[in-house]
Structure 1
């Protein structure tokens, strides 16, 4: 027996669908609070010293946190090539805006404190704000468009043709999802700052984080109602081959009905949206009563629930098509080969634990609050 056949193709596809979710959630939980801190920077810190305190809460870890973003993009490229081809070409301008905003972050971190000029530092502070707020918003807009379906089709030779436009992505439901994503990461940034700072900065972070948590609860509820009654779902019209070749055109897909049908077929997935709400409520209460550790854990649970609810609701669809529903990409027909997925899984099982162990060690070493005294005493070596 060939070694990769110890795990059947269907199981490998589900494993890699789950691993993609793990990487996206890992990115939101780690680099998410970096973006949230950037979005909060002009509002929770008023003086230069306060802003340096805020920046240095994420300064030692933001580069490592971006590893999850790179791993997510790499896994899409290797495990789900059609998804990579359609999404990275169809969402090209949106991706360009995200990358341009993300580029402002390292530049802002590195250059901000090189000069003591007030205008110089204020400019880089707003660059850090853009680097946090813009990706947080656009990532949510992308998710909103995926839930509605994307206007693309596949030719007979499986070449993707995108028929939409950048401004077409900015539809009302997608913008609602964008605001939900933005509020979620601002809440997470606020939770991080309540843990890592003290005094007036911590107090402001609690206030803004609490507002963000309330916004998460409201916006997530509105998005769920809209998704149930205002967004047409996708489903298979006939039998599905789960371990066949990766050719979406071999399946018949219909566009209609409601995504809520997934909860009648798999009732257990209701755990995900419940966790999203409970986590946000827990983060809100944690900020109000000053439970710093609880606040951050609850915020992470909210992120886990909210992102999981999207994937579990859509399963097995990954990127539905409104232009030609039969071109929709699913877990069963958009993956790499059996051997490729197996080799990638072996590599992941070796290196992902190492990444988790190293990351945990770094956070342990850097644990504790960042104070104004720390910044003053180490002014020449910190951001």
Structure 2
């Protein structure tokens, strides 16, 4: 059966779509996570905390769709990546999911009792539900850049040889803190649009700290990538239309290889530039009290930082630190040609619907949450 798109094109499209879904998750549910990570530091009274919580109360459930779509895309389009990452990083994934499950429970139960101690416990649960996923997602990205400790045998069965504590190294903790700073800035940007009064003032102050931290950590992380010997490259020519067999290409560890793409494709430098420009734009917005600019800057930071990782690693998706020959790439870890094509047709139908509905929902629910509203509205959290 002849398909209108060749295998290489479909693989590139699905690699790009995976990036779009991850960025979509960071742009939407990312400000939910960031807002909850800021909750103990930005709101001091019950009324202020209710303002912060209700700033995301109308949208957080829908925002999680992007996380589900990302996991589904990995499962269907990149089965080798799904098999290795979701089994090897099982405990880390369990930690993230536990925190994400704790978050909706806290949303629902916090307002059930008008007791300060009861509500304080659930407020800290909301903090955990925001901070832990933000940190672990960043640690995971750091481990992907370093290479995961897995290997594939001759039958392509994955064997993971790492541990949960082994995921936390100086570099991965740096990337974890960068993730927290990036999403905290995004949360502050969201509160700049949605909150008022002293909550808004504190969001601006903490947003400045998060922006400076994001810039510093991004630069430091880039220097570590460039000068500490990490990176992988393909040894020999790659066949973008070749079979999906990770052993088909020979990958090797190579110091500084994550910078190779910037000499081949100079336009890729736009990603790290955007990653640095975004927090700077947010700082300008905070100083000038231009709240829309703060959120635009935090959004740009998310796009630039995530795109930098993906573009730097291309065509690698999940390299192996202990057996580079088992590394998973765009050309060797995808589903079949026909599967990718059918999935693309489905995506072309449903993704615009998701985007249109999301845009409509945000438009309908746009506006600041005020202290008077949370005081008078019993349906608020």
Q: TM-score by structure 1 length?
A: 0.98
- Does residue 1:370 correspond to 2:369, yes or no? yes
Question: Helix, strand or coil for the counterpart of 1:161?
Answer: strand
Question: Helix, strand or coil for the counterpart of 1:243?
Answer: coil
Q: Which deviations, in whole Å up to 9, do the C-alpha atoms of 1:42-66 show, x marking residues without a partner?
A: 1111000110011000000000000
Question: Helix, strand or coil for the counterpart of 1:153?
Answer: strand
Superposed counterparts of 1:174-253, under 5 Å: 174-253=172-251
Question: Helix, strand or coil for the counterpart of 2:97?
Answer: helix
State the match for 2:312 in structure 1: 313
The equivalent position to 1:64 in structure 2, one of 52, 62, 74, is: 62
Cα distance in 2 between the residues matched to 1:90 and 1:308: 24
Q: Conserved in 2, the CA contact under 8 Å of 1:136 and 1:181?
A: yes
State the match for 2:148 in structure 1: 150
Instruction: Give the Å deviation of 1:165.
Output: 1.1
Cα distance in 1 between the residues matched to 2:240 and 2:34: 39
Instruction: Give the Å deviation of 1:221.
Output: 0.3
Cα distance in 1 between the residues matched to 2:375 and 2:23: 35
Question: Helix, strand or coil for the counterpart of 2:220?
Answer: helix
Q: Which deviations, in whole Å up to 9, do the C-alpha atoms of 1:288-313 show, x marking residues without a partner?
A: 21101111011101110000000000
State the match for 2:110 in structure 1: 112
State the match for 2:345 in structure 1: 346
More moved, 249-258 vs 39-48: 249-258
Q: Conserved in 1, the CA contact under 8 Å of 2:228 and 2:255?
A: no
Instruction: Give the Å deviation of 1:231.
Output: 3.6
- Count of aligned positions: 380
Q: Conserved in 2, the CA contact under 8 Å of 1:148 and 1:231?
A: no
Cα distance in 1 between the residues matched to 2:286 and 2:87: 41
Cα distance in 1 between the residues matched to 2:184 and 2:55: 15
Q: Conserved in 2, the CA contact under 8 Å of 1:177 and 1:223?
A: yes
Q: Which deviations, in whole Å up to 9, do the C-alpha atoms of 1:217-249 show, x marking residues without a partner?
A: 000000000000114211111111111110011
State the match for 2:5 in structure 1: 7
Cα distance in 2 between the residues matched to 1:280 and 1:93: 32
Question: Helix, strand or coil for the counterpart of 2:254?
Answer: strand
Cα distance in 2 between the residues matched to 1:251 and 1:48: 58
Instruction: Give the Å deviation of 1:251.
Output: 1.1
List runs of 5+ in structure 1 lacking aligned partners. Answer: none
Question: Helix, strand or coil for the counterpart of 1:257?
Answer: coil
Cα distance in 2 between the residues matched to 1:376 and 1:182: 31
State the match for 1:16 in structure 2: 14
State the match for 2:120 in structure 1: 122
State the match for 1:85 in structure 2: 83
Q: TM-score by structure 2 length?
A: 0.99
- Does residue 1:360 correspond to 2:352, yes or no? no
List runs of 5+ in structure 2 lacking aligned partners. Answer: none
- Does residue 1:75 correspond to 2:54, yes or no? no
